[in-house]
Structure 1
Amino acid sequence: MIKQSIFFITALFISSLCFTGCSDDDDDYLGNWVEMGDFSGKVRSHAVTFTIGDKVYVGTGYDYDDDEKFADFWELTINGTSFQWKQIEALPGLARNRAVAFSSGSTGYVGLGSDEDDNKLKDFWAYTPGSGWTEVTAEFPGSARRDAVAFYVNGKGYVGTGEDDDLGNLNDFYSYDPNSNTWASISSIPYKRRSATTFVLDGEAYIVSGLDNGVSRDDFYRYDSTNDTWVELNRISDFTDSSFDNDYDNTIQRYDAVSFTMGGKAYLATGSANLETWEWDPMTDRWKQKTDFEGASRYGAVAFTLNDVGYVMTGGNGSYSFDDMWYFEPYEEYENKD
């Protein structure tokens, strides 16, 4: 666990990095972050997570403190405000960070990323509780890459974007059918990016944010898996002449962020030294600012939703990595350090 003394020593450093993320008064916004406890593994950033049933799985990643990449995996059980970690079999492939993961509901899939020598990877592995890990024998058809995104909808996993050594940032996408163990190329998202984030809400997949040409992207897309098309939604910046986006102030834009869903809405948090939390309503395609994330500013965290509660954990900032875990109460009043 990161000691409190480290936080005090680095307070000025961290506050200087949240230049766009820290609000002057969290009481202006609704929502409350509650620190729940610590991840049982070593501190890390750029790990992956997936859920199977009522269990959460977290693994891989990078420890800035010790310059170490991981292949270990941990199973999390949550019961109300109590939780229990159990270490499981490590990923059989190379230790890595900046990988991707998705879950079919019964099996979790992990692949891509960057190994200890920063070589890009393209292998995939499947984890089934009770059976352990097996290698996905169908070869990922895209190039080896890191900082891609992945999601699962309508019986297929989807993987795309990211960064490779030769082409830089990418916009290609591929689908994986677990039943036939086959990959297929699908429509590319219109703009290249790495370090974006995705979420699935009411059976629809979305991709938002990311980095390209040194700029955080402000576009926002829904993937129509029936017609294999990317549907553009309203941008996450003050982009139009309409008044609805005047309050966006270009601070929703970020990369290396996390997203999760609760109560029929989506939430975007952390990333690129940003503490701001934003809520997206699919009924109106509008974003509303919520209480800032109350932990240290970070990027490369992981997030998941379990029993309609959103959680954020781990991540890094500068030379520090974290192991703290938080959950969000979107309609509670802000309480400091609860």
Structure 2
Amino acid sequence: MLAIIAPTMVSCSGNDDDDLVGNWVKLGDFSGSPRTSATGTTLNDLGYIGLGYNYTQDERLSDFWTYDADRNTWDQIADFPGNARTNAVSFAADGKLYVGSGFDGTSGERLKDFWEYNPTTNQWTEIAELQSDNVNSPNVDGREGMTAFSINGVGYVLGGSDADGTAYKDMYAYDPAIGSWSKKADFGGSKRANAVAFVIGDYAYVCTGISNGSYPNDFYRYDAVQDRWEELRKISDNSDDSYDDDYDIIRTNAVAFTADGKGYIATGGRGSSGSDVWEYDPTTDLWTEKTSFEGSSRYNAVAFTIDGVGYVLTGQQGTTSNFDDMFRFDPNAEYEEND
């Protein structure tokens, strides 16, 4: 089962406000097959994407690819050796890629295995499955739709939902130097799946997603040194005169990336697929709307950052189509319409 939001979808994006800043550039298509619910991140200045589901082939995928922005070139790496799956998570830590959790479409269970990819040897190695270091309750349920990020060489995964659709808020860290998982402070807000995270400096920022059928509007920052969550301003207009700006950032199955010390959320939606883009400034704890994503509106896409530039690719619109197109975003450039 894929993580699906309502099937009434908007057919394409549009820019109704010419005053919005930011420019999307359409690049060459992703070299792999079209897909949705893939996973991706950045490692050693390369973008990584793999797994997911291809509607045309009715197939969950195991292939993995890297994108070199300097050469504008894709290279296929060794296939993921675990079960093909959707809604997995990935993070980069200590020079290696880590991929795990998700749903394989056949077992009925959600997964908790994790794998390490070494780019030097082009080999995958299975690591410890997701677990707690609490001797009294070490078992952790398999999940899909978890949220992942890395800070200072340590990877973190949180939340997600189990086979019954129940959402969680627990968080675990994997330290490659130790080779084991440890339980960290529970996420400070509502339980959730399909949220987004971005890292600025030494802090991770987490918001959006779906929480047992509702769409939360809370927003939190994680301090890894203190193992502590701090609540920030909400991501919706709540009539607070200090930042009342008609915010409408609430959504699920979106993507996030960073550029020049700011965080960005794009695509996703609630009830329909979205195209709007929001920029977060950590120095003011405020959001600014940017030029809308210029491809077809979508959800379950993948995003990564290379050299301070955000890239968005793949995803789906509706329940029978998926994409292989790719776009680059310059948040400070004036809008120029794509051909």
TM-score normalized with structure 2 length: 0.90
Per the alignment, in what secondary structure is the counterpart of residue 163 of structure 1? coil
> By how many angstroms is 1:87 displaced?
1.1
Deviations 1:287-338 (A, max 9, x none): 0001110100100111111011111011011111000010111121211115
Per the alignment, in what secondary structure is the counterpart of residue 112 of structure 1? strand
The equivalent residue for 1:180 is 178
> By how many angstroms is 1:154 displaced?
2.4
Give yes or no for the alignment of 1:43 onto 2:34: yes
Structure 1 vs Structure 2 CA RMSD: 1.8
The equivalent residue for 1:335 is 336
In 2, distance between residues paired with 1:76 and 1:23? Answer: 27
Report if aligned partners of 1:109, 1:126 keep a CA contact under 8 Å in 2. yes
Report if aligned partners of 1:91, 1:133 keep a CA contact under 8 Å in 2. no
Give yes or no for the alignment of 1:18 onto 2:10: yes
**Which one has the bigger strand percentage?**
1
Report if aligned partners of 1:26, 1:334 keep a CA contact under 8 Å in 2. no
- The match for 1:162 among 157, 160, 163 is 160
> By how many angstroms is 1:234 displaced?
0.4
The equivalent residue for 2:121 is 131
1:124 alignment partner AA: F
The equivalent residue for 1:202 is 201
The equivalent residue for 1:233 is 232
> By how many angstroms is 1:126 displaced?
0.4
Structure 1 residues 58 and 24, CA gap change in structure 2 (3 angstroms): closer
Structure 1 residues 130 and 153, CA gap change in structure 2 (3 angstroms): same
Aligned residues: 319
> By how many angstroms is 1:50 displaced?
2.3
In 1, distance between residues paired with 2:228 and 2:333? Answer: 37
Report if aligned partners of 2:13, 2:275 keep a CA contact under 8 Å in 1. yes
The equivalent residue for 1:151 is 149
Equivalent positions of 1:25-36 (< 5 A) are 25-36=16-27
> By how many angstroms is 1:130 displaced?
2.3
The equivalent residue for 2:263 is 266
- The match for 1:98 among 87, 91, 116 is 87
The equivalent residue for 1:75 is 66
- The match for 1:66 among 40, 57, 60 is 57
Per the alignment, in what secondary structure is the counterpart of residue 62 of structure 2? strand
In 2, distance between residues paired with 1:267 and 1:43? Answer: 24
The equivalent residue for 2:46 is 55
In structure 2, the gaps of 5 or more residues are 1-6, 132-139
In 2, distance between residues paired with 1:223 and 1:200? Answer: 9
> By how many angstroms is 1:131 displaced?
1.7
Residue identity (%): 45
In 1, distance between residues paired with 2:304 and 2:129? Answer: 27
Per the alignment, in what secondary structure is the counterpart of residue 18 of structure 2? helix
Give yes or no for the alignment of 1:88 onto 2:111: no
> By how many angstroms is 1:247 displaced?
2.2
In 2, distance between residues paired with 1:290 and 1:25? Answer: 12
The equivalent residue for 1:111 is 100
The equivalent residue for 2:169 is 171
> By how many angstroms is 1:34 displaced?
0.7
Deviates more, 1:49-58 or 1:99-108: 49-58
Per the alignment, in what secondary structure is the counterpart of residue 102 of structure 1? strand
In 2, distance between residues paired with 1:103 and 1:96? Answer: 19
> By how many angstroms is 1:46 displaced?
1.1
Report if aligned partners of 2:198, 2:263 keep a CA contact under 8 Å in 1. yes
In 2, distance between residues paired with 1:239 and 1:42? Answer: 42
In 1, distance between residues paired with 2:126 and 2:59? Answer: 26
Deviates more, 1:162-171 or 1:295-304: 162-171
